[in-house]
Structure formats: C-alpha cells, structure tokens
C-alpha cells in the first residue's frame, strides 16, 4: 500500500456537529460498499453504506460519497474503508477560528509601504520610491495597499473585489469573532485606493514595477515603479466599493466615511462623462494586466451601490438599463458558453452580483417587479450551480477548471448563500458547504489548499516571500487546479491528467499554485456566512 490515506478525502479542518458531514472515497480493487468511522483507539463508532459512484469528466475516476451526517459526537476520528483510512476528521464547535484568523492575517502580512511587524514575515517599509505616471513626464509616490498575489503589484480591480468580500464577511462575523479587526485591515486598503484617484475622478488601474522581480522579500524589489493608465473597470469598481464601504465607518469615523463617499461620487461623475476605457498592459509593462473588455457589470455595480446611498432614482434606472441591454444583446457561443455577456458573478472580472446583492438587500428601495426579477436571476443561477454540484464526483461547482479555480468555487458558494438567504432552501446552504469541504481536503489531490492549515496542506506556493524564505506563509488559499497548464512546470508534470488533478505543489507553477488576495477573500466570506465561527 503506497499511502494509507490515498483513497479517502475529508475536510481536514473539520465538521460542525449538526451540519452535513461528507467524505469521499475513490474506487480501488476490492473497495467495499461500506465505510466506518473510527476513534483514536481504532474502535468503530459509526458505520454506513457508500453512496452510488460518480465518474465525471473532471476527475475521470469513480468516486463514492460517505455520509456520516447523523453522527454528531465531538472528537477526532478517521474514516476507514477497505484497509485505507483518512486524515484525522474533527467534529466540534469553533473549529474554524484559527483558520479564519490565519487567512485574515495574510492581509496584514501583505501590507505594502509600511513596516510589517512579525518575527518571521516582518519587513521594513517597501515600495516607497517614486513611480512614473505612464505616458507622461510626471512622477508620484503612492504607498500602501496589499501586495496582490505571488507578486508585489497593487491592482485596483483586485483590491476592490477583496474589500467587498471582507466587508460582507464582517457583517456576518463581526458580532461573534473578535480576534482580528477586519474594518481596520480593510481601511488600510481603502486609504491606498483613495491615493489611486486622479483629480478628475478617474482611477489608475494599478501600480507595480515595470516587470516582475525574482523571489525576494518586498523591501528588495527596488526597481522603478509605474502608475498604469486609468481604466473604466478600475474607476467603476472604485466607485461601487467605496460607496458600499462608507457605511461601515459612519459610526467610528464620520469624516472618513464622508471622504469615501465623496470619492465614489467623483468617480461616478467621471464615468458619466467618459466612454469606456478598456485596460491592457502597454508594451513596457509586463506585470499582471487584469484587463477586462466588458465593463457593463462594473458600471452596473457602481450605480447600484451609489443608488442605495443616495436614493437617486435616476441611478437605479440607468443601472437596470445597463443590465437589460446586456441581457438583450447576449449572444452565447455554443463552443464557449462561459463567455456570456451577463450573468451573476463575484469574480474580479465580473462584479455584477455585488450590484444585484446590494439591491436585493434594500428591497424597500425597489419596485416589487424589479425585486422579483433580480431574486429570480440569483435563484436561476443557484439552481444551475446546484445541478452541477449534484452531478459532480466531489460535489464541486466546477464546469471548467481554470486558473484560480479554488477562488471560483468560493465565489459560487457566495451565490448559493445569497440564494439561501432569499429562499431558505437548504440545498443552497449545503452546496456552499461542499465547496468549502473541497478546498479544505475533499479533492482528488487530498490536500488542504490553505497553507499552514489541515494535516496535509500546500507547502510550496508561488509567493515571493515564501520562496525567498524557503518556507510557507500560513493562511493563503492556493489558486488550485488549472486544466490550461499555463506554466512550464505544470506542462512538464501534469500533461494528460484530468482537470481536477491539474495541480502541482511547486513554487514555479504560477497557474496552479499562486495565491491572491481575491481568492482568500471569498473564503473568508464563506466561512463567516456558513456560521462556522459560532
């Protein structure tokens, strides 16, 4: 036997006593139809029958579900089947507090432009040099913000999506979790975003060096920085995010809240008087582009968010016009059905669901017909996601497995949790929980994709501080499998593998093992929204 755990996959953080508890078992010679749950002495404390096997195109092996939901005794156990046993299975309350703090602390450790105090990951203020304002002879100094991903760039569209997730998580965890100040951490990013706005209201797309650096600590990336051109996506995301964020600071710092709202209105004014400006990297800049050739969803998000703050009916009318026009003109390519003009999403490239959720949270401000239409759109999307989950070997929402797939399943879980709020339908809640199970160990790699957590976690992420120190910073969600094999390490090691196995725990595999602030953030949201901190 190569590895006693190789065929059994569990959530390595644990399960709440009263919630659904599933493990997964891949088929092997002599695989029985039953499984056992054993305590630390090897005593069988629960037995059950395996569900019907599912073999899908993303996994390409038959997988059985082991359901032990009706076992609620707290403790540490293992799932056993045919001579194999799982990593430890914890059942109990408050199992997620340490994980939650870990994934939030990643943001503090990723602060740019100020000294970070930490025995292992601390560093002096970094990236404090002047930056070229691209296309001009001018220079400026913009400090602050979080390092975006495995690199040290700071990107507006990534930062705004991250803030939205963290603030929505705070709404669900702020009253029950006090080990980390989310509002203080978010404020650090907001202060940086304010510096990214031009006098006319437009927002620069990003600030970074001209090219990626090697695997060094941030204070050693000393090359010249550049402030990239403004974009509609950055400006609209900025407007929607800051308008939403302003409400969170009204009671603790009214002046700051007012500053956020004023900046949002200024950005919206720019959007109102300027055509779409799509961003792509100029030839001199080779850091992450975050280009977006469809900004209708960004404009919609901004209008929805500002409408709820100002109650200006003209803004709502324009938001719905954008939405209806996109739906009306939609042409779906049967060879690439994911390239849709409009669908509800929480990704950095499609922020439509943030706008829709903001409106649905304010039912009293909407005509009843509009509320029902928006609610129906979320439910339709959730039903589609649930149908995919039910047919999937590991109960994931993947239809395709692409770069950042772990962040995507967390974003899909967000859709499901909004649908659960709207309907109370338990299938949506359970579907969201399965996405969390997947990233925490219920996957064919048998790995907890969050560094420093679980029994078997990612150890070699594409992350410059980790690479420089040759150890792993805890609390980072790896991007996960990507069937596109977009880097050389992935191509050399994973060609021919089924999509869900297109992952390698290697520092050089940026397409499968990079980390990002906007992959951590939906994970924060899902944990908080599922109520796992209570």
H or E element in which residue 125 lies: none
Kindly report, residue by residue over 505-519, the tens digit of the pLDDT: 999 999 999 999 999
CA–CA distances in Å: residue 530 to residues 149, 365, 378, 416:
26, 27, 18, 11
Q: Please state, in angstroms and rounded to a whole number, the distance separating the CA atoms of residues 198 and 207.
A: 13
Residue 331 pLDDT? 66
The per-residue pLDDT for 442 is 98
Nearest to 526 by CA among 437, 447, 441: 437
Q: What is the pLDDT of residue 339?
A: 59
Give the H/E segment covering residue 140. strand 139-140
Query: How far apart are the C-alpha atoms of 81 and 470, rounded to whole Å?
Result: 37
CB 204 within 8 Å of CB 164: no
- Residue 338's pLDDT is 54
> At 283, phi and psi to the nearest 5?
-60, -25
- Do the beta carbons of residue 235 and residue 299 sit within 8 Å? no
Beta strand 131-133 with 225-227 is parallel
CA distance 190 to 243: 11
DSSP 15: B
Give the bridge partners for 64, in sequence order. Answer: 25
Identify whether the C-beta of residue 5 lies closer than 8 Å to the C-beta of residue 445: no
Of 301, 499, 480, 514, which is closest to residue 408 (Cα–Cα)? Answer: 480
> Torsion over CA of 501, 503, 506 and 510, rounded to 10 degrees?
160
Distance CA 417, CA 349 (A): 20
Question: In the prediction, which pLDDT does 337 show?
Answer: 59
pLDDT score, position 2: 45
What confidence score (pLDDT) does residue 329 get? 81
DSSP code string of 302-325 = HHHHHHHHH--HHHHHHHHHHHHH
User: Coil, helix or strand for 155?
Assistant: strand
φ/ψ of 489, rounded to 5, equals -60, -45
Residues of the chain under the 70 pLDDT cut: 1-3, 331-341
Place of tokens 């951590």: 520
């Amino acid at each position: 036997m190569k590895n006693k755990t190789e065929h059994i996959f569990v959530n390595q953080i644990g399960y709440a006593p009263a919630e659904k508890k599933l493990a997964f078992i891949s088929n092997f010679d002599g695989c029985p139809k039953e499984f056992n749950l054993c305590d630390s002495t090897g005593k069988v404390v629960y037995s059950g029958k395996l569900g019907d096997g599912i073999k899908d195109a993303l996994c390409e092996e038959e997988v059985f579900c082991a359901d032990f939901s009706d076992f609620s005794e707290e403790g540490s156990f293992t799932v056993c089947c045919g001579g194999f046993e799982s990593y430890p299975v914890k059942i109990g309350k408050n199992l997620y507090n340490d994980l939650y703090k870990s994934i939030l602390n990643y943001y503090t450790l990723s602060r740019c432009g100020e000294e970070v105090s930490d025995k292992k990951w601390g560093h002096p203020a970094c990236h404090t040099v002047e930056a070229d304002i691209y296309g001009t002879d001018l220079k400026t100094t913009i400090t602050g913000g979080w390092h975006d991903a495995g690199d040290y760039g700071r990107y507006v569209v990534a930062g705004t999506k991250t803030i939205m997730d963290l603030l929505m998580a705070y709404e669900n965890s702020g009253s029950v979790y006090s080990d980390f100040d989310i509002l203080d951490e978010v404020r650090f990013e907001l202060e940086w975003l304010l510096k990214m706005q031009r006098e006319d209201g437009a927002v620069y797309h990003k600030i970074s060096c001209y090219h990626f650096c090697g695997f060094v600590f941030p204070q050693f990336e000393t090359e010249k920085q550049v402030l990239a051109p403004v974009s509609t996506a950055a400006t609209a995301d900025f407007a929607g995010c800051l308008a939403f964020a302003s409400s969170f600071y009204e009671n603790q710092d009214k002046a700051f809240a007012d500053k956020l709202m004023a900046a949002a209105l200024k950005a919206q004014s720019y959007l109102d008087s300027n055509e779409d400006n799509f961003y792509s990297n100029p030839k001199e800049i080779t850091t992450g582009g975050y280009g977006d050739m469809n900004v209708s969803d960004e404009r919609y998000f901004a209008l929805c968010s500002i409408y709820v703050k100002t109650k200006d009916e003209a803004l709502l009318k324009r938001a719905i016009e954008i939405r209806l026009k996109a739906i009306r003109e939609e042409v779906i390519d049967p060879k690439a059905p994911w390239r849709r003009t409009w669908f509800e999403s929480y990704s950095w490239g499609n922020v439509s669901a943030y706008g829709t959720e903001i409106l649905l949270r304010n039912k009293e401000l909407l005509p009843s017909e509009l509320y029902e239409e928006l609610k129906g759109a979320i439910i339709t999307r959730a039903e589609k996601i649930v149908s995919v989950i039910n047919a999937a070997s590991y109960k994931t929402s993947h239809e395709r497995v692409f770069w950042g797939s772990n962040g995507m399943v967390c974003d899909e879980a967000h859709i499901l949790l909004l649908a659960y709020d709207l309907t109370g339908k338990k299938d949506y809640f359970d579907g969201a929980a399965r996405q969390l199970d997947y990233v925490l160990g219920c996957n064919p790699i048998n790995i907890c994709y969050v560094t420093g957590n679980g029994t078997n976690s990612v150890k070699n992420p594409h992350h410059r501080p980790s690479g420089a120190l040759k150890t792993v910073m805890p609390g980072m969600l790896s991007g996960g499998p990507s069937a596109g094999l977009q880097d050389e390490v992935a191509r050399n090691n994973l060609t021919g593998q089924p999509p869900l196995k297109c992952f390698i725990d290697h520092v050089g595999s940026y397409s499968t093992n990079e980390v990002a602030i906007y992959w951590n953030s939906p994970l924060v949201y899902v944990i908080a929204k599922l109520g796992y901190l209570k």
